[in-house]
Structure 1
Amino acid sequence: MVAGRDHRDRATIQDETATGLAVSLGQWSEAGRKAQNQDFHGAIVPGRPAITTKGIAIALADGISSSSFGRIAAETAVKSFLSDYYCTSEAWSVRQSAAQVIAATNAWLHGETRRTARSSHDGGSDDRGHVTTFDALVLKGRTAHLFHIGDGRIARLSGHTAEPLTEDHRLTLSASETHLARALGMGPHVEIDHQALPIRQGDVFLLTTDGVHDYVSPAALCRLVRERGDDLDGAAKAIAAMALENGSTDNLTVQIVRIDRLPAADAAEWLEGGDLEPPAAMPEVGTIFDGWRIEGVLHVGPRSHVLSARDVETGKAAVLKFLASDLAGDPAARRAFLMEEWVAARLSSPHCLKPASRSRPPTARYAAMELLDGHTLRTVLDETPQLPLADVCRIVTGIANGLQAMHRKEMVHQDLRPENVMLGPDGHVTLIDFGAARVAGVAEARAFDADSRHPGALQFAAPEQLRGDVGRVRSDVFSLGVLAYHMLTGRLPYGAALARSRSARDQRRLAYQPAGSETVDVPDFVEGALRRAVAIEPARRYAEVAEFVHDLAHPNPAFVSPEAPPLALRNPVRFWQAVSAILAILVVILAALLAR
């Protein structure tokens, strides 16, 4: 960590690997003509894998000069961000993580402002406020994330000038009077400006307080940085000196960040176990592999081999999952395989599969998961293709609980199907197989391109995923709706046509086939809930799986019509059969009349 209010030696911060992110950092801060420096700045870089999952963070704050608590507010804002940001979930996106931390800091500062105001004899005044501007730059993968509140500034060198990337939050009252329009601690809630920009090797970013950029032109900023080359600390000090010479009466803080190296597109896997290779041969029943006694074969498929095992030291049972030998050299398959255990370890829900506890680090690439008692939903449907509505609602509720746990972590399952749902002897529902999951935080960290193939089963995939788009929460809503429909009817809401479609135009032509039929009695409100959940357009679906589950079990007045819908809507097949029969009769009658 590089942090403080005063000058620090230039730091070169980089990933531990020769292919990771590397930056150079220069900083300078001084009180200037003021008695006290109320600015605070800092930077932090974690070790692996956090440098990849969370990135490098640089922060700058400027406490308001009218308050005796300005310095405390600035220091609190920077230190809280640099420490708490790295405590947020690795699955969260940079924006989600930073927003949560900044909002919590703002709430604390505002609370302190109110507390000190109540304790002051004069009922509170400007010199009691815990208020500060705040700017942060997070470098993750090949993207720079900017967070801005107040009149600090983040700029990027471009040609012969420093291009401002943020807009000052100032309220201009007159030519000589301006006030902060937005700052941390100013109110119970704060609006944060956020940008995500692609970065290139050699890019240079500058973070400055208003005591600097109000007195040094963008062209001069750029020139001073270029002139000093690798001496970024010297450049920061020279910029502060020029601001002082040009009449600045405020505190002076400058941070300079140069991108020396970006993660390589073919960088090695950074997930735990990414440097390991699959075993040379698949373990056999009765043998001991990596401290596990192999007890049985649970599944053998084209993508994986699943074995039951028991830890020889602890006696705990587990499921070991191995990548099929034909896919050992497939980067996409290897990444998906690593995600299985990584995702499971970050979920805390009784409806999500958990990783097995390991008593020793692995020596080969495989996943160790808890052993569940029961059967997959596919096994149940093979025996009973159409389940009662009460059973469907119960199973859908369990699946939805697991999906909600994922969605709260900014994860999308993307492969919801009967094979990935386990039903225990007591009916307990567990969501399994997270290899295809899309995790916001991981997606940001990846230097490689997204896989072009769809990760899940085509029959249950959302239309946008079939078109090559990434999965969203509404995509999981669609898959859950299809699964509910399939459990009730044994069919698919669009037949096999949706799985063959690859364009939005083709998908819009598809017609929803009502779940109700001669053999399946489906209440109107259930039909309405299913129809909405599996809408082709994502915007027409439920926004959350919980909304779908509620409407599935509680009649929604919007789906219950006082009069029965026409036959064409209730059963299009029967409607057209009737129309065809009538037309055939008319043809026979007309033919007889013509014959006479």
Structure 2
Amino acid sequence: MPSAAPLEVTLGQHSLAGDKGLNQDFHGAVVPTGSALYFKGIAVALADGIGSSPVSQVASAAAVRGFLDDYYATSEAWSVRRAAQRVLGATNAWLHAQNQRGDARFDKDRGYCCTFSALVLKGRELHVLHVGDTRIYRVHAQALEQLTEDHRVHLGADRSYLGRALGATAHVEIDHHCLEAEAGALYLLASDGAYERLDAAAVHAALARWPDDFDAAARSLAETARARGSTDDATVQLLRIDTLPPHEAQPWQAQRAQLRLPPPLAPRMAFEGCTLVRELHASARSQVFLALDHQTGQHLVLKVPSVELREDPDALDRFLLEEWVARRVRSPHVLQAWASERAREHLFVAMAYVEGQTLAQWMTDHPRPDLDSVRGLVAQLAKGLQALHGKEMLHQDLRPENVMVDRSGTVKIIDLGSAHVAGLAEAAPAHQATRIVGSLQYTAPEYFVGGQPTAAADLFALAVLTYQMLSGQLPYGLQVTQLRQPADLKRLRYVPLRHHRPELPAWLDAVLLKALQPEPARRQEAVSEFVHDLHRPGGALLQARALPLVERDPVLFWKVCTVLLGLGTVVLAALRVLGR
């Protein structure tokens, strides 16, 4: 899928060996095209091996090559930070393992260690990744602004050592921060053999001499560093951002532009190599049909955008998101995209067909299910959510109508069109990150007060479903939908499950209440922990105090208070009479 808008840079790089003759620096860059440019961006990387090691040039080459190869092989759904840190973590583990097999386990200064710095330009954001003492600068008219922090420990009297480097320890912390990209901005990546001898004037002089050849400008700067007394390896990389994509750019705009909107559809029509069997569902967002594929003879589900969406480009882009997400998640508990790769003429979504019933219908058929049955369904739902969360995706619209239970009892999460994808959110307009896209009754409180989407929001929705399956009610009624300010969170009152089902164990309310906390940080850390608590609650949950009456039944609490106040008034009046 081609990028929906241009992202263009000018790049140059050069490296000179120092007096030792063996260059222990390594550098590289990737400027991809097509979908990789949108989903992964442009990457520039530099590593510098430690001078005391006879093998650090191997480490620096492995770090840069591994990063530039493996970063582009990670999931398109991952954020830059997650993808980069996973790749660099794997590289660090490999380098450290080499050290442990040789003499370097006793002397780290002679091992497979290197510093590392990289820039990743994705959409309208610039990501800085760094460990060690290579540096990244933004070049201004009269100064170099250092964007990285040297991880060097100074002992005084010109003595220092690297506090952090790839390969030095089993685990390494990678600095990451994100900046807003600006067209025309210029960046310099350099090893210490170069930056210790360069300044902004030298950079601008080199660019003035070689305005159309950044490789020559980088070579000139490395030579300038040598001429000014550098004896170490000197590596320079220059990156200028020429054009940025517009804020509203989305990866499927080009795909959407090539597809026609579907004609009015009806059962028994032929459409895109299929015969429409019957309409399954119609809403303000889509029209859904059961279809028969002529080529395979199998049933599938075809979704076409509703008439109301056809003049809304943003809505059509989100409509296409569902199949994109489904193709990147592999789980028996998440609905899969239809396997066919036939070329398409019209804009539609094709998904696998699940023969069964929605969770909403299941709840109608099982108004008072036993706890084990509910726990079995919840465990499957949690596995589907875990598959999404593992790809840095959130479902954001988990509700009974978006869960299918097939004839064998397998639970599948459907309708992925509201998903939040971290890798896409990096390039999306900021206002889209916090908008409410799911059904209000199942949306986590933080969405209503401007909080950021996290996996804790899906956990909240899962706990609401658990409570609803057991009781037929919502844990907060409609209170959550009325939230407007962060202070409103304190007014939420959980209705205990045992108010509806007194025969259920007391600890179950403690588990549910934790997952349904208004503040996401107070919930379980993951859906897997919630499922574990439902099956094997820990001591703190088993010993949880009984909820006070004001939380169990606020109306009854105030009625009791009113009666007690009335009785108190009568008693006081009687005492006054007797006292006279």
SS of aligned partner of 1:151: coil
Deviation at 1:125, TM superposition (A): 5.5
* Partner in structure 2 of residue 39 of structure 1: 25
1:25 maps onto 2:11 in alignment: yes
Q: For residues 351 and 143 of structure 1, do their structure 2 counterparts lie closer, same or farther at Cα, with a shift above 3 Å needed?
A: same
SS of aligned partner of 2:529: helix
* Partner in structure 2 of residue 357 of structure 1: 339
Q: In the aligned structure 2, how far is the partner of 1:127 from the partner of 1:569?
A: 62
Aligned pairs for 1:180-579 within 5 A: 180-225=162-207, 228-267=210-249, 269-270=251-252, 273-277=255-259, 279-446=261-428, 449-450=431-432, 453-517=435-499, 519-561=501-543, 567-579=549-561
* Partner in structure 2 of residue 176 of structure 1: 158
Deviation at 1:269, TM superposition (A): 3.9
SS of aligned partner of 1:274: helix
User: Which of 21, 37, 43 pairs up with 1:57?
Assistant: 43
Q: In the aligned structure 2, how far is the partner of 1:364 from the partner of 1:424?
A: 30
User: Conserved in 1, the CA contact under 8 Å of 2:435 and 2:447?
Assistant: no
User: Conserved in 2, the CA contact under 8 Å of 1:278 and 1:366?
Assistant: no
Tell which deviates more after alignment, 441-450 or 154-163. Answer: 441-450
Deviation at 1:266, TM superposition (A): 3.9
* Partner in structure 2 of residue 11 of structure 1: none
Q: For residues 590 and 277 of structure 1, do their structure 2 counterparts lie closer, same or farther at Cα, with a shift above 3 Å needed?
A: farther
Percent identity of the aligned residues?
44
Q: In the aligned structure 1, how far is the partner of 2:214 from the partner of 2:545?
A: 76
* Partner in structure 2 of residue 146 of structure 1: 128
1:99 maps onto 2:82 in alignment: no
Deviation at 1:268, TM superposition (A): 5.5
Q: For residues 325 and 451 of structure 1, do their structure 2 counterparts lie closer, same or farther at Cα, with a shift above 3 Å needed?
A: farther
Q: In the aligned structure 1, how far is the partner of 2:553 from the partner of 2:264?
A: 52
Aligned pairs for 1:572-591 within 5 A: 572-580=554-562
SS of aligned partner of 2:217: helix
Deviation at 1:405, TM superposition (A): 0.9
User: Which of 116, 131, 135 pairs up with 2:102?
Assistant: 116
User: Conserved in 2, the CA contact under 8 Å of 1:143 and 1:198?
Assistant: yes
Q: In the aligned structure 2, how far is the partner of 1:18 from the partner of 1:230?
A: 27
SS of aligned partner of 2:154: strand
Tell which deviates more after alignment, 232-241 or 189-198. Answer: 232-241
Deviation at 1:587, TM superposition (A): 8.4
Tell which deviates more after alignment, 28-37 or 362-371. Answer: 28-37
Q: In the aligned structure 1, how far is the partner of 2:16 from the partner of 2:201?
A: 22
Deviation at 1:321, TM superposition (A): 1.0
Tell which deviates more after alignment, 500-509 or 88-97. Answer: 500-509
* Partner in structure 1 of residue 34 of structure 2: 48
User: Conserved in 1, the CA contact under 8 Å of 2:495 and 2:552?
Assistant: no
User: Conserved in 2, the CA contact under 8 Å of 1:68 and 1:127?
Assistant: no
Q: For residues 99 and 235 of structure 1, do their structure 2 counterparts lie closer, same or farther at Cα, with a shift above 3 Å needed?
A: same
Q: In the aligned structure 2, how far is the partner of 1:292 from the partner of 1:414?
A: 31
| Deviation by residue 1:84-134 (Cα, 9 ceiling, x = unmatched) | 11111111110111111111111111222232328xxxx965685212111
Amino acid at match of 2:43: A
* Partner in structure 2 of residue 5 of structure 1: none
User: Which of 57, 67, 70 pairs up with 1:71?
Assistant: 57
SS of aligned partner of 1:215: coil
Deviation at 1:523, TM superposition (A): 1.6
Q: For residues 453 and 185 of structure 1, do their structure 2 counterparts lie closer, same or farther at Cα, with a shift above 3 Å needed?
A: closer
Amino acid at match of 2:99: T
Deviation at 1:585, TM superposition (A): 7.5
> TM (normalized to structure 2)?
0.93
User: Conserved in 2, the CA contact under 8 Å of 1:169 and 1:180?
Assistant: yes
Q: In the aligned structure 2, how far is the partner of 1:51 from the partner of 1:371?
A: 33
Deviation at 1:508, TM superposition (A): 1.9
Deviation at 1:331, TM superposition (A): 2.9
User: Conserved in 1, the CA contact under 8 Å of 2:140 and 2:200?
Assistant: no
User: Which of 66, 80, 105 pairs up with 1:80?
Assistant: 66
Q: In the aligned structure 2, how far is the partner of 1:508 from the partner of 1:192?
A: 37
SS of aligned partner of 1:172: strand
Give the total of aligned pairs: 577
User: Conserved in 1, the CA contact under 8 Å of 2:288 and 2:302?
Assistant: yes
Q: For residues 540 and 278 of structure 1, do their structure 2 counterparts lie closer, same or farther at Cα, with a shift above 3 Å needed?
A: farther
Deviation at 1:279, TM superposition (A): 2.9
Amino acid at match of 1:420: N
Q: For residues 124 and 306 of structure 1, do their structure 2 counterparts lie closer, same or farther at Cα, with a shift above 3 Å needed?
A: same
Deviation at 1:34, TM superposition (A): 3.1
User: Conserved in 1, the CA contact under 8 Å of 2:467 and 2:474?
Assistant: yes
Q: In the aligned structure 1, how far is the partner of 2:14 from the partner of 2:564?
A: 88
User: Conserved in 2, the CA contact under 8 Å of 1:271 and 1:338?
Assistant: no
User: Conserved in 2, the CA contact under 8 Å of 1:161 and 1:220?
Assistant: no
Q: In the aligned structure 1, how far is the partner of 2:568 from the partner of 2:172?
A: 72
SS of aligned partner of 1:516: helix
| Deviation by residue 1:143-180 (Cα, 9 ceiling, x = unmatched) | 11111111111000123111111112222233333322
User: Which of 115, 122, 126 pairs up with 1:133?
Assistant: 115
* Partner in structure 2 of residue 9 of structure 1: none
Amino acid at match of 2:22: Q
Deviation at 1:271, TM superposition (A): 6.8
User: Conserved in 2, the CA contact under 8 Å of 1:162 and 1:219?
Assistant: no
Q: For residues 522 and 335 of structure 1, do their structure 2 counterparts lie closer, same or farther at Cα, with a shift above 3 Å needed?
A: farther
Deviation at 1:428, TM superposition (A): 1.4
Deviation at 1:276, TM superposition (A): 4.0
Amino acid at match of 1:79: R
User: Conserved in 1, the CA contact under 8 Å of 2:96 and 2:112?
Assistant: yes
User: Conserved in 1, the CA contact under 8 Å of 2:493 and 2:551?
Assistant: no
Q: In the aligned structure 2, how far is the partner of 1:397 from the partner of 1:544?
A: 13
